[in-house]
Structure 1
Amino acid sequence: MFSNRKPIYLDCNATTPVRPEVQRAMEPYWENVFGNPSSAHRYGQEAKAALELSRQKVARSLGAKNPDEIVFTSGGTEANVLGIRGTLGTHDRGYFSVIASGAAGATKQSQKGDSFNEIATTSTELRSRNDKRGHILASPIEHDSIVALLEQLSGEGYEVEYLGVDQDGRVDPEEVKAKVRADTVLTAVMYANNETGVIEPIAEIGRFLRERGILFHVDAVQAAGKIPFSVQDLGATTVAISGHKIGGPKGIGALWIDKATTLSPHHPLASSPPRPLFPGHQEGGLRAGTQNVAFAVGLGAALELAVKELPGFMSHLASLRRSFEEKIAGLIEDARFNGHREFRVANTTHVSFAGLEGKNLMIALDLEGVLVSTGSACASGVTKASRVLAAMGLEDKWSRGSLRFSFGRDTSLEDLDQTAQILAKAVRSQRKLSVLPSD
């Protein structure tokens, strides 16, 4: 039976409630300032002004040099896809041009170079020759949106190679250096992992890749507002963020694009030839469709607040997490905490219990009014072991019995003390019933 008290929400890596300040900032754009920002009349220009002010806020909060380096998207997933496909699209223009110039029967090149339609005739021949478009490196702990995209790209002619991580979930920059090849065109490493909260050595990796002119995409969805950083210091060419992870609305995200990067419009490389997915002039021609001004305002407000409050708030959360983990360790025998002890976002605890099912523990906690996750919300319902934990070398018996606790602004020490007690009770109960091996 569900508890009558207000639930304790500890799943903030999945989503967060919209902050009251953000709601107030968005309100005028539902009714009063409703114009299309592409319209020339006063309503349209009012909306455009609000959109561009929000772009400035996002740029300033991320440490970007110019607001026009920011492209608004529908969320982190689209920002990831646009960042990777878009930059690879730029690479493909040159690649297809080279292939077309040497292909028998290829369309003659114009003095201005091949258009996408002209080089389309070489696509079938390209695949039949099994030529590779280039080499891509990625961490094995990327978000599902990137893993799925890399699977597509592998089938489209790219050679995708995964890096390793250590038992704490961190990529070794030396491995990146060792695996980069002459044909490496892009590397993708997330800033902070959505399951474990582990922070990767992005700046060190980025410096190396920038020196070699290799595209570097960083998924910073779980890092923005939780880690102090400037995109200028990361060595990245593109960085993705999302609104609803930091007290903003769902359905809005942004992609930062290094001014030195020529980003082609979002296109499906699976088809022949590459072309814009949604032709249009909005967002610098990179993301077509009428912009959601209210949501963009919400993202700007949420990110600005998160960055402003970051030092004190993260210190507070780190203190809560330390107390919570000490409480769990004292109440539950053989609890295993996953992820690097130092390089972790302050709001995340990831813990495993050998021989148990994380899903059953999650349900038991839910019935007691504690809302947590077994891992990535985008993969909910999937009972197989976490690929992130597998990459860290965690045995299946531990991986299957994992829970993620991610705190937010409303989390109190009392909440976490209650949660630790409820968790201990659930673990004891499940261990009595468990038929899974624990040793």
Structure 2
Amino acid sequence: MIYCDYQATTPLAPEARDAMLRWLDGPEGTGFANPHSPHKLGRQANAAIEVARERVAALLPPGGRVIFTGNACEAINLAMRGSGTGGRVSVSAIEHPAVFDTARALGGEHVLNVSKEGQCNTAQDLPADTRLVAVMAVNNEIGTIQPTIDWHRKAKENNALFLIDAVQAYGKVEITQADMIAISAHKFHGPKGVGALWVRDGIELDPQITGGLQEGERSGTLSPALVAGMGAAAKLAHERMAEDREHVGQLWDCARELFADWTLNGSETARYKGNMNIRRDGLDVARLMSECRGVMFSAGSACASGSGKTSRVLKAIGLSDKQAKSSIRLGWGRYTSIEDIEKAAKAINAAARAQGL
């Protein structure tokens, strides 16, 4: 099996697994404690969460707080729903559904256009009553890196808050300016079931889950195992960022040569090189995937798999329905080898040729 679907999820780092086991078992089976309990075992579990909080914050801007959540979708909803009411919410046309659909549900959404390269430039105006702007750092379908620094400046000029969906960027691309940043552990070799929202100091959010408010603006007992795993994965990402980036770049160069006859969707240069969205006009993607069962890749976002709908992201950059439906997404990262890329390309190209393409 060759795994090339890193945008959907990443393999759990061994270091993260080891960190989790301490709080699943622990010395003499004591790792099960509730981190919000005042006794010794609870304080020990809480200390592990605070260590993880510091590790996660190390890759985020200074002057803010980290709120642990169940996932990035929850973090995004807390940011968008909890930061106020009234006014317009401006989002890029290629945002993840967690942002795009939430903006629509809030009402009065304003959609920012993107170029055929997949970038959302700041030449377009914001409505006068915009209260929140959301532009993702790295797109999950086409890998385009957005000019978030420019959008942060634009939002401030319009007295609006600025939210970044950094799910695909955290640990890979530096993030320096925002009011709120959402991340998910399983996208950087941590466990599923835990995410976080970074909130700049001075911003207050209305809780969206009522209860004990264990995280201040977020209720619910935290899992020391999941949070510790996220912290270990964040620490590793921090230490290996340059090494991982170089490795991903080498894999990209190899893949571009092996898929030279395919058309790239999105920017060639303004992108995270662990994401390659390519197409062959006329390709039957369902047949291709059936004939390449040993290669794990995607026809689009995992969140939209099985919907049968044409990719909103690919249509936003100007592709027709037919072109969008003849596209595939390949993703790789830390644990992918050159040999993996070569084997995947061999299988995919052979299956495409069998369709006469």
Q: What is the TM-score of this pair, normalised by structure 2?
A: 0.95
Counterpart CA distance in 2 for 1:53 and 1:209 is: 33
Corresponding residue for residue 396 of structure 1: 321
Please point out which of 266, 279, 288 is paired with 1:361: 288
Please point out which of 327, 333, 341 is paired with 2:268: 341
Residue 182 of structure 2 corresponds to residue 257 of structure 1: no
Gaps of 5+ in 1: 1-6, 93-132, 267-276, 433-439
Please point out which of 216, 230, 237 is paired with 1:299: 230
Amino acid at match of 1:345: Y
Counterpart CA distance in 2 for 1:185 and 1:360 is: 45
CA contact (8 A) 2:92 2:114 kept: yes
Residue 192 of structure 2 corresponds to residue 226 of structure 1: no
Question: 1:301-328, CA deviations, whole angstroms, 9 ceiling, x for partnerless residues?
Answer: 1012112211121112111111111111
CA contact (8 A) 1:315 1:346 kept: no
Counterpart CA distance in 2 for 1:357 and 1:243 is: 33
Counterpart CA distance in 2 for 1:208 and 1:402 is: 33
Corresponding residue for residue 117 of structure 2: 168
* Superposition CA RMSD, Å: 1.4
Please point out which of 140, 145, 153 is paired with 2:98: 145
Counterpart CA distance in 2 for 1:360 and 1:249 is: 32
In 2 relative to 1, CA 353–167 (structure 1 residues): closer, same or farther, beyond 3 Å? same
CA contact (8 A) 1:8 1:371 kept: yes
Residue 273 of structure 2 corresponds to residue 320 of structure 1: no
Identical counterparts, % of pairs? 39
Counterpart CA distance in 2 for 1:379 and 1:189 is: 20
C-alpha deviation, 1:345, in angstroms: 0.8
Counterpart CA distance in 1 for 2:8 and 2:195 is: 15
In 2 relative to 1, CA 360–278 (structure 1 residues): closer, same or farther, beyond 3 Å? farther
Larger Rg: 1
Please point out which of 415, 425, 431 is paired with 2:350: 425
Corresponding residue for residue 83 of structure 1: 79
Please point out which of 62, 67, 73 is paired with 1:71: 67
SS at match of 1:209: helix
Please point out which of 172, 189, 192 is paired with 1:247: 189
Corresponding residue for residue 269 of structure 1: none
CA contact (8 A) 1:362 1:403 kept: no
Question: 1:50-99, CA deviations, whole angstroms, 9 ceiling, x for partnerless residues?
Answer: 11111111112223335xx10000111111111111112xxx3xxxxxxx
C-alpha deviation, 1:140, in angstroms: 0.8
Residue 9 of structure 2 corresponds to residue 11 of structure 1: no
C-alpha deviation, 1:383, in angstroms: 2.3
Please point out which of 130, 135, 141 is paired with 2:88: 135
C-alpha deviation, 1:396, in angstroms: 1.9
Please point out which of 298, 302, 326 is paired with 1:373: 298
Amino acid at match of 2:147: P
Corresponding residue for residue 213 of structure 1: 159
Residue 211 of structure 2 corresponds to residue 279 of structure 1: yes
C-alpha deviation, 1:18, in angstroms: 0.9
Residue 306 of structure 2 corresponds to residue 385 of structure 1: no
Counterpart CA distance in 2 for 1:243 and 1:28 is: 18
CA contact (8 A) 2:142 2:276 kept: yes
C-alpha deviation, 1:382, in angstroms: 2.0
Gaps of 5+ in 2: none
Counterpart CA distance in 1 for 2:23 and 2:253 is: 41
CA contact (8 A) 1:198 1:343 kept: yes
- Find runs of 4+ consecutive structure 1 residues off by over 6 angstroms: none
Question: 1:346-405, CA deviations, whole angstroms, 9 ceiling, x for partnerless residues?
Answer: 211110111123232222211xx1110011001111222211000000122211111100
Farther-moved stretch of structure 1 (305-314 vs 145-154)? 145-154
CA contact (8 A) 2:185 2:194 kept: yes
Amino acid at match of 2:81: R
Amino acid at match of 1:173: T
Give matches, 1:33-48, under 5 Å: 33-48=31-46
Please point out which of 167, 180, 186 is paired with 2:132: 186
